Amino acid sequence: MADSTVWWLIAGAVVVLELLSGTVYLLLLGAGFAAAAISAHAGFGLTTQLIVAAVVGASGVLVWHSIRRKQPAEPPTGSNRNVNLDIGESVNVDGWNPDGTTQVRYRGAQWTAVARSGTLPAVGEHKVVEVIGNRLVVDKA
């Protein structure tokens, strides 16, 4: 079996593992193995193929890791608009209970809402800023 065929099989296996695990790092290593296969097609020796696989795969992983570190951290799931579509929606508060909760009508049902910590409860329109369990955390709009 030709060297390039072996490299393509390894690259394919790594891509399958990446699809099963969902980590992009394996995909970048697969790109390194594909680069080694291309170098085998070009007629380079095994040592050069190994160096190409290591350099391309490792540099891809290092570049991706540095890009991910520079991005801001995702907000927690309870307050992340990409995860919870209730964040940012409006609710109307008619009054507050002595314990700091209120009942609001939202999406056709009664929800318990609490004011965001550090804010004073007020009546009127509020925005949902977080969902904790079955409670809406609201902030004055």
DSSP string, 95-109: ---TTSEEEEEETTE
Domain count, the chain: 2
Looking at the fold, whether 10 and 63 belong to one and the same domain comes out as: yes
Looking at the fold, whether 36 and 92 belong to one and the same domain comes out as: no
Please give the residue range of the domain that contains residue 27: 3-70
pLDDT at residue 37 in the model: 97
**CATH, residue 113:** 2.40.50.140
Query: What's the pTM value of the predicted model, to 2 decimals?
Result: 0.59
Looking at the fold, whether 60 and 9 belong to one and the same domain comes out as: yes
User: For residue 33, what are the CA distances in angstroms to 24, 54, 63?
Assistant: 14, 8, 17
Looking at the fold, whether 63 and 100 belong to one and the same domain comes out as: no
> CB burial class (10 A; 0-12, 13-18, 19+) of residue 30?
buried
Residues 5 and 37: their CA atoms lie apart, in Å, by 7
Looking at the fold, whether 93 and 130 belong to one and the same domain comes out as: yes
pLDDT for 115-135, tens place per residue? 998 888 889 999 999 988 889
Q: Give the model's confidence band at 51: pLDDT under 50 very low, under 70 low, under 90 confident, else very high.
A: very high
Q: What is the mean pLDDT of residues 56-75?
A: 91
Looking at the fold, whether 66 and 8 belong to one and the same domain comes out as: yes
Residues 28 and 126: their CA atoms lie apart, in Å, by 45
